[in-house]
Amino acid sequence: MISWGYLRSSIEIGQKHQTRQSHISARSGRDGNLKGKTLKGECPSDIDKKPQGKYYTRQDNVLDFVGIEDMGMVFPGGSARFVDMNEIRYRERRINNRLPVAREGLPFIIGSLVLTCVFFWIGHLFLVIMAGGLTLFMVFFFRDPDRKGNKEDRAILTPADGRIIGLEEIQGRENPLGEPAVKISVFMSLLSVHVNRIPADGRISKIEYRPGRFFSANLDKASEENENNQITLETDSGVRVVFVQIAGLIARRIVCWVREGDGVRAGQRCGLIRFGSRLDVYLPVGSYVVARVKDRVRAGETILGYLP
């Protein structure tokens, strides 16, 4: 039998929870649904208190995951943006990945490993060799080596591993940068590391996804017609740079781990394109480009050029 004291305690706990939810609803203006809600201006006083869970804060213009208060992101100046904590954890684990392979590759690696074990169990040697080879390829393809970003002043790092297949100056404004620009194209083959990285310190000011075709990534028309994700970076010096993740003939999956408003570091992981693709970088005219066509480059380490 449930005692009156227990029932009374349960009611009091429920009332406190309801009062707290009402307070959060009043702050968010969306009946307690805080996902994606932005509050501008001064933070409510309760957000300024010591956090009870996990949140991340902006320090030196970079997002650092350090703990959370009411699912909130706290910034200098007192503004707060409420976010989905599951998304924060998802992004944090990938941006600060400590595994030797990208987490997006784990389902492929585990799946092919399970197949290898099944074929071994039934005693089919040929299929064991094929599945084992597939497992090794998946581990190799999704490898995610640790890289240390180059900190040279005004340097722009390549966001992708691979080979430079294009270098041209665009006079018009019909390009993702919206002004005359220098375009550098990097082709990622099946043998390249496919984790993409941030080219310079700064802030993500815009992200625009565009559906499209799936032509071979080494063709010029791939830049215009293929599915792509355009990321605009405003560097600490105030110069805009755009880099574009482009799907290829085999690559049908573009992954982006950064969001608009994120502070980022040069060399930081920002996304991945599966199974062969291309990445274009647009620099403002006047940039000093040191990269050359056919050069082999390494994401987060090789310098493409220097901003004006």
Q: Which residues pair with 289 in a beta bridge?
A: 305
Examine residue 299 and state whether it is found in any structural domain, yes or no.
Answer: yes
Catalytic residue among 28, 223, 277, 287: 277
Domain C-terminal end among 113, 141, 169:
141
Q: What confidence score (pLDDT) does residue 82 get?
A: 52
Number of domains in the chain: 2
User: Chain-centre distance of CA 78, in angstroms?
Assistant: 25
Whether residue 163 is found in the same domain as residue 134 = no
Q: What confidence score (pLDDT) does residue 83 get?
A: 56
CATH at 272: 2.70.70.10
Q: Catalytic site residue 192?
A: no
User: Chain-centre distance of CA 96, in angstroms?
Assistant: 10
Q: Is 123 left (phi over 0), alpha (psi -120 to 50) or beta?
A: left
Examine residue 300 and state whether it is found in any structural domain, yes or no.
Answer: yes
Cα-trace Rg, the chain: 24
| The pairing of beta strand 277-284 with beta strand 181-188 | antiparallel
Inter-CA distances, 143 with 55, 103, 197, 294, Å: 29, 10, 14, 23
Q: How far apart are CA 174 and CA 14, in angstroms?
A: 58
Q: How far apart are CA 15 and CA 292, in angstroms?
A: 67
**Residue 215 pLDDT grade (very low, low, confident, very high; cuts 50, 70, 90):** confident
Whether residue 107 is found in the same domain as residue 230 = no
Examine residue 196 and state whether it is found in any structural domain, yes or no.
Answer: yes
Examine residue 51 and state whether it is found in any structural domain, yes or no.
Answer: no
**pLDDT of 149 above 80:** no
Examine residue 47 and state whether it is found in any structural domain, yes or no.
Answer: no
> What is the residue-averaged pLDDT of the chain?
77
Query: Which structural domain range is residue 116 located in?
Result: 103-141
DSSP 93-153: HHHT--SSB-GGGHHHHHHHHHHHHHHHHHT-HHHHHHHHHHHHHHHHHTB---------T
Q: What confidence score (pLDDT) does residue 117 get?
A: 96
DSSP 197-233: E-SSSEEEEEEEEE--B---TTSTTHHHHB-EEEEEE
Whether residue 216 is found in the same domain as residue 121 = no
Average pLDDT of 119-125?
93
Whether residue 166 is found in the same domain as residue 271 = yes
pTM for the predicted model, two decimal places: 0.71
Whether residue 212 is found in the same domain as residue 275 = yes
pLDDT in tens, 42-92: 333 333 333 333 333 334 334 343 333 333 444 444 444 555 678 888 888
pLDDT in tens, 219-277: 888 888 889 999 999 999 999 999 999 987 775 689 999 999 999 999 999 999 877 68
Whether residue 224 is found in the same domain as residue 202 = yes
Whether residue 257 is found in the same domain as residue 291 = yes
